[in-house]
């Protein structure tokens, strides 16, 4: 009997997954669902050691675990980014890989806008003032309307964020390798950084985008500008960002992703930086997104079994 292993929780009920995957279990596939995260790569390797088809989300999958998966033919990454997966080893072993692009477009874009609003309207400071019997003195906010929002990366999530920003009355400019949307005014990166009031990052993490926003790029931003990152943590040099915030070189930052998965160590640079909104990688995590993701996972698995792989990474 062929094995499907969902090696970490997917945020939906067992009943939902059983229903979605019934076409495969009805064809003789045995389904194993894990309701906890792996403890380490050895544990993950043991979970997938006999699997033909595997599903993971954002838990790292390295060579150590893949070496134990001698029967593995297909890996479905229930996530948009795949930089946490050893894709080179998958290629070497002939393991086909798909992702689940599209499930979190709305959820991530809405969080990006939420971070803009939180920083501009000083929501954290407002809660502190209300909690401690203070007034609204010093809490005057800023409106998104008529501000320039610079979108770095105008793929699905970046484009959705751009449209939400437009709904608030913002002027939107973009930077992208291809100028794929006629309703966005594209410019070069330096100009975007120099002229935007809000910079929102929506790039994948690759060799080329590692520390794409570094000390030099941060120095181009206006002192009253804010930076939002709901994409991948390694795109920003977070030590340089923390330093820029402490020196008042930019006005604030909303960060959902870091160069490691939370929990963050107590001495992580951004934790002591002022004027931040920090969340522990929750942009993708809404009830609706989890339902969409589960449906894409099931469709990916069924399509692969039928010889029609979708959302191809390799």
Of the candidates 93, 79, 89, the one whose C-alpha atom is nearest the C-alpha of residue 281 is 79
The DSSP code for 265 is P
Q: Write down the pTM of the prediction.
A: 0.93
What pLDDT is attached to residue 1? 84
For the chain, the structural domain boundaries read 3-103+287-305, 105-278
Q: What is the pLDDT of residues 201-240, one digit of tens each?
A: 999 999 999 999 999 999 999 999 999 999 999 999 999 9
The 3-state secondary structure of 25-70, one letter per residue: HCCCCEEEECCCCCCCHHHHHHHHCCCCEEEECCCCECHHHHCCCC
* Beta strand 276-278 pairing with 226-229: unpaired
What pLDDT is attached to residue 52? 98
Of the candidates 160, 202, 232, 292, the residue annotated as catalytic is: 232
List the chain residues with pLDDT less than 70. none
Does 105-278 match 3-103+287-305 at the fold level? Answer: yes
298 token code pair: 């099931």
Of the candidates 261, 266, 287, 291, the residue annotated as catalytic is: 261
> Do 23 and 302 touch, CB atoms closer than 8 A?
yes
Cα separation, 149 vs 160, in Å, equals 13
Of the candidates 30, 211, 275, 281, the residue annotated as catalytic is: 281
232 is catalytic: yes
Residues facing 185 on adjacent strands: 173
288 is catalytic: no
202 is catalytic: no
**Phi, psi values for residue 152, rounded to 5°:** -95, 105
Token pair 């964020």: residue? 161
Domain made up of 105-278: CATH architecture: 3-Layer(aba) Sandwich (3.40)
Mean pLDDT for the chain overall: 97
CATH T-level topology, domain 3-103+287-305: Rossmann fold (3.40.50)
Q: What is the pLDDT of residues 14-44, one digit of tens each?
A: 999 999 999 999 999 999 999 999 999 999 9
Could you give the count of Cα atoms lying within 13 Å of 298 in the half-sphere of its Cβ?
A: 19
């Amino acid at each position: 009997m062929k094995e499907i292993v969902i090696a970490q929780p997917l945020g939906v009920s067992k009943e939902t997954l059983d229903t979605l995957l019934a076409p495969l279990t009805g064809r003789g596939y045995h389904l194993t669902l894990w309701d906890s995260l792996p403890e380490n790569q050895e544990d993950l390797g043991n979970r997938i050691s006999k699997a033909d088809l595997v599903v993971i989300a954002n838990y790292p999958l390295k060579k150590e675990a893949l070496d134990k998966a001698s029967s593995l033919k297909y890996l479905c990454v229930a996530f948009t980014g795949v930089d946490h997966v050893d894709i080179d080893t998958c290629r070497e072993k002939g393991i086909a890989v798909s992702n689940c692009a599209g499930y979190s477009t709305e959820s991530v874009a809405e969080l990006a806008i939420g971070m803009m609003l939180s920083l501009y309207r000083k929501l954290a400071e407002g809660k502190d003032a209300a909690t401690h019997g203070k007034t609204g003195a010093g809490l005057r906010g800023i409106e998104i309307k008529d501000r320039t929002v610079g979108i770095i990366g105008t793929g699905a999530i970046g484009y959705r964020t751009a449209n939400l920003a437009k709904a608030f009355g913002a002027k939107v400019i973009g930077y992208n390798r291809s100028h794929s949307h006629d309703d966005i005014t594209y410019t070069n990166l330096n100009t975007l950084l120099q002229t935007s009031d809000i910079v929102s990052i929506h790039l994948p993490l690759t060799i080329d985008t590692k520390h794409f926003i570094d000390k030099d790029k941060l120095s181009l931003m206006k002192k009253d500008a804010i930076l939002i990152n709901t994409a991948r943590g390694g795109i920003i040099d977070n030590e340089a960002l923390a330093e820029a915030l402490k020196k008042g070189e930019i006005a604030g930052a909303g960060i959902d992703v870091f160069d490691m998965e939370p929990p963050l160590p107590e001495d992580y640079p951004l934790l002591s930086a002022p004027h931040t909104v920090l969340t522990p990688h929750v942009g993708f995590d809404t009830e609706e997104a989890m339902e969409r993701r589960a449906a894409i996972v099931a469709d990916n698995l069924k399509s692969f079994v039928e010889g029609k792989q979708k959302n191809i990474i390799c």
